[in-house]
Structure 1
Amino acid sequence: MNVDNFRPGELIDGRWILERALGRGASAVVWAASDARSTQKVALKIFYQSFARHPAARALVDREAHILMKLDHPGIAKLLAARIESDLTYLVLELVDGEPLDRILVRTSREGAVTDMAVLARVFGSICEAVGYAHSLGVVHRDLKPQNIMVLLRGRAWYTKVLDFGIARWLETPAADATTLGRPKGSPFYMPPEQARGESTEARSDVFALGALLFELATCRRAWAVAGPQTHPPCHVPVPQDESNSFARVASRVLEGPRPRARSFRPELSATFDTIISQATSVDPDRRFQDADELGRAVEKCLRSTEQGSEEVTTESRTSSAAVPEPHTPRRVPRAPRILAPLSAFGLGVVLGLGATRALVGAPFQTPPGTESGSIGRPVSNEELDRILEAVADARLSDPPERVALERIAADIVRAAERHPNAATRTKISRVARGSVQLGNLDGLAACARMIRQE
């Protein structure tokens, strides 16, 4: 079956109706499609037969599907179904109605703008929350980059979805599959030194990629690329595909060059912000933040103090905002099971979407009109909480409560919780709300709403 010959309207496997091609990669084509059984819109990731006919390649797809099956988070594209066989291999994924982060950064850069500070805090925090959730389950993404982050604008709030766990792995699995034809998998511009050497990766490897992404998000410039004599070229300037940006040269810059300094391009950022980037992108994993959650908390605290006109330390345990801290013992991350049951033909599914929402097209990366930039710390009104509790009461009328109602309530709770001044409380509320959705626990959602109330 020749994947390149597929056309819109074609029925795949008796179920998936192709609508439009969203993108092509080295191993697969992603289509927007609909489910003939339910008319649900999905993203169909169909792998080339030249790739899927190899048992080792199918094993990688199988692993991606098992990892996505384990992950259930609003910031990660969900797996809906899968078929992994030599004649036809595909994943059915949640269709994300958003725009890739790299496109938004290119557009913002071309317009001579930078990411609004409130948007920076919201978007990067959303990414770290999703990746931190994966880390808590023992999953390392290993290919975090703007192309794998979808951005959605819902009302006046920005949200993100992390995509493409194609080279992700459990922490317990060996690094033997980390290279292809002698070259490590992943993008060199976001790849930590240990991954470039083909060594074992962990949560701190993703932290390195997030540090490079943070620089790019804050400045609309690339952390490790060069364009002629220009280092850190703007995102809208094409990166030359020449020796200066070869895998070896980029790896050398990462190892030997100075850490990228966001303040060089955006003076209003604090020295602490650059310290965070330096720590996150340290050559030595022991000097990095231990996972995405810790990095996200540090950035949130830094940006809040910048907004308030004061400098604070980057993490709770730090005493100086100017120096990278001494190495400390890595916090152990809970490990996921080593082995999962084999996939059935339609037991799972994942969908990727690359289409842009109408609200995002043509817009720079700025706070939507009417949105207050200083939302953190602004009390949630009693009226807002009452509406959430009323929604909980309404949901009790169904037995069991409808999943869509639970998810809507949880989303309102998480949005409200983002304004709580305590980072630990915000994280706790978010996790309890997600867990309550999984358990169908309306009492848990009601408790979350009450936790938000600030005395």
Structure 2
Amino acid sequence: MADKRFVVLEEIGHGGHGKVYRAKDEQLDRVVAIKVFHDSPVEAERLMKEARTLSRLTHGGIVNVYDVSRISIAPGQQTTITLSEDGPQEETLSWAMIMEDLGDIDPIQYVREHGVHAALQIIAEIAEALQAAHESGIFHCDVNNSNVRVLRGHAKVFDFSLAGRTTGRPYGTPAYRAPEQARGEEPSDRTDVYGLGRLLYGLLNPEQIAKAPAEGSRPVLPKLGALDLTRRTQLEDLIHRMLDPDARKRPGMQEVAQVCRDSSRRESGRRSPPLLAAIGALVMTLAMGFGFYFVRHRNDTPQAAKLRVSIGIIHHDKNILMVRRRHKEGTLSWQFPAGIIKPSQDPEQRIIDETLEETGISIKVVGKIGERISPETKVHAEYFDCAYVAGELRNDDPNENAEVAWVPVDGVQNRITSSIYGGVVELLKGIQDGRIR
């Protein structure tokens, strides 16, 4: 009866209709998201409607659906999910949809880390994805931050379950629903424009997320240094029209995308503006370069530092994941994956997100190796022992990295041209002699 098996990594969402798991596809060696519905004819019908809807959409900004099937879930030390498409319909089977895994970065988190230009990029990309859906006669009807993820620097829309909704009663997330949704009326392409307007206003006003200006009043954006007066005025006018109670007066998705792109100074890209990106790359390279000097006294207590960096020693069998930075600083070129830790970020999650974003590799943190303040740069470096989970290695940040590679553990020290932190040396030795797997 078994067709494919999945190993559940974690539960990533749940609600009244069911649960969503992140799991490893053992057959295809990739991480997926599995949306499991409560086993009832109504829920099965909802699932199939959503799957059929998504199967018609092939835009890069919309989640990919791989399969829909009845499944069985086997709890245990490692919970597994088995597809049971042709087997007997036992009571233990449920309906599930297997989809592309979009990670955990929602637009609010991404904009908090990357700034106003990231907000404009995200809204433009969502607008373009929804425009493609509208051209296929599909309306999302629940545009909000919970149904968008940022994967490798680009927005992805998911959860089209309300695209097959029945009218006659309110539908959609209350904080984002358009007036016509609150009245239970048929949606249109302008219904999604309203939800996107609420999201745009919230991203540009973090303290006002899920709130909107008083009906009929013109929104006022904070005085953001990244935008001049003209661009702020353009955005205020756009949001005002997107949130118009009369759907006919709202702009189309194409105009929304164009205004957001025009209002941003930077050219299209995944990271910060060119100057800031260059500065960030320089700071990171210096941090990494000096961060690898050997520490003879492992019990030194780190003191306060202006910059914290999360560094991952990621191993798979006896290979270590390494990146070669495009812009060489001094003699340092090859490095371990690393990310600057912002004040609100968890160091372990930072290296997980940075590795996935830069290389397409999903990892888990096994434990902390150690930390110290670099005596040269005063950077607070935190080192983590990380294990490969899934994914195919690729260079997803060619602007910063010239090359990414799995390097045999015995060749790591030949690529790093400065002394390596003592705890890292011990970890590499353990991997090489087989004590650490």
Give the corresponding residue for 2:37: 47
Q: 1:100 to 1:224 in 2, by over 3 A?
A: closer
Residue 197 of structure 1 corresponds to: 183
Matched, 1:281 2:243: yes
Q: Residue in 2 aligned with 1:295?
A: 256
Task: Tell me the secondary structure at the aligned position of residue 97 of structure 1.
Answer: coil
Residues 214 and 364 of structure 1, relative CA distance in 2, 3 Å threshold: farther
Inter-partner Cα distance in structure 1 for 2:228 and 2:2 = 53
> SS where residue 175 of structure 2 aligns?
helix
For the 8 Å contact 2:17–2:43, the answer to whether it is kept is no
Q: What are the within-5 Å matches in structure 2 for residues 43-442 of structure 1?
A: 43-49=33-39, 53=40, 55-83=41-69, 87-104=93-110, 108=112, 116-152=115-151, 154=152, 158-169=153-164, 177-178=166-167, 182=169, 184-222=170-208, 225=211, 256=215, 258-263=217-222, 268-269=228-229, 270-290=232-252, 292-304=253-265, 362=342
CA distance 1:128–1:257, change in 2 (3 Å): same
**Aligned to 2:143, what secondary structure does the other structure show?**
coil
Q: Contact (CA 8 Å) 1:148, 1:164: kept in 2 or not?
A: yes
Contact 1:115 1:219 in 2 (8 A): no
The code of the aligned residue for 1:127 comes to I
Contact 2:4 2:27 in 1 (8 A): no
| Mapped partners of 1:185, 1:259: distance in 2 | 26
Larger radius of gyration: 2
- Kindly tell me: are residues 128 and 363 of structure 1, through their superposed partners in 2, closer, same or farther at Cα, counting changes over 3 Å? farther
Displacement of 1:178 in angstroms is: 3.7
Please name the residue that 2:292 is paired with.
none
Asked whether the equivalents of residues 8 and 22 of structure 2 are also in contact (C-alpha less than 8 Å), the reply is: yes
User: 1:215 touches 1:221 (CA, 8 Å); kept in 2?
Assistant: no
Q: Do the aligned partners of 1:259 and 1:281 also contact (CA within 8 Å) in 2?
A: no
Unaligned runs of 5+ in 2: 71-88, 267-336, 346-391, 399-437
Distance across 2 between alignment mates of 1:284 and 1:45: 35
Q: Flag as ranges the 4+ runs of structure 1 deviating above 3 A.
A: 11-14, 84-87, 102-105, 263-269, 302-305, 357-365
**2:9 maps to which of 16, 19, 32:** 19
Distance in structure 2 (CA, Å) of the matches to 1:271 and 1:61 = 42
Question: Kindly tell me: are residues 220 and 60 of structure 1, through their superposed partners in 2, closer, same or farther at Cα, counting changes over 3 Å?
Answer: same
- The alpha-carbon deviation at position 363 of structure 1 amounts to 7.2
Conserved? CA contact 2:10–2:21, under 8 Å: yes
Distance 2:220 2:251 in 1: 18
**Which structure's relative contact order is higher, taking Cα pairs within 8 Å and 6+ residues apart?**
1
- CA RMSD for the aligned pairs? 3.7
Q: Tell me, in whole angstroms, the C-alpha distance in 1 between the residues paired with 2:57 and 2:395.
A: 19
User: Structure 1, unaligned stretches of length 5 or more?
Assistant: 1-10, 109-113, 170-174, 226-231, 233-252, 306-356, 366-403, 413-455
Deviations for 1:149-174, whole angstroms, at most 9, x for unmatched residues?
1113x4xxx211112111124xxxxx
**Could you tell me how far 1:104 is from its partner in structure 2?**
4.1
TM-score (structure 2 length as normaliser): 0.52
Q: 1:42 to 1:120 in 2, by over 3 A?
A: same
- In 2, distance between residues paired with 1:359 and 1:135? 38
Q: 1:364 to 1:284 in 2, by over 3 A?
A: farther
How many residues are aligned here? 260
Does the aligned pair in 2 maintain the 1:31–1:45 contact within 8 Å?
yes
Is contact 2:199–2:210 with CA below 8 Å preserved after alignment? no
Cα distance, 1:149–1:362 mapped onto 2, change above 3 Å: farther
Query: What is the percent sequence identity of the aligned residues?
Result: 26
Tell me the amino acid that sits aligned with residue 102 of structure 1.
I
Residue 12 and residue 272 in structure 1: after superposition, are their counterparts in 2 closer, same or farther (change >3 A)?
farther
Cα distance, 1:362 vs. partner? 4.2
Residues 115, 218 of structure 1: 8 Å contact kept: no
Distance 1:259 1:12 in 2: 58
Aligned-residue offset at 1:191:
0.8
Paired residues of 1:65 and 1:82 also in contact (CA < 8 A): yes
Quick one: distance in 1 between partners of 2:43 and 2:19?
15
Once the two structures are TM-superposed, the CA of residue 263 in structure 1 deviates from its matched residue by: 4.3
CA contact (8 A) 2:37 2:95 kept: yes
TM-score, normalised on structure 1? Answer: 0.50
1:32 positional shift? 0.9
**Higher share in helix:** 1
Give distance in 2, aligned partners of 1:164 and 1:193. Answer: 21
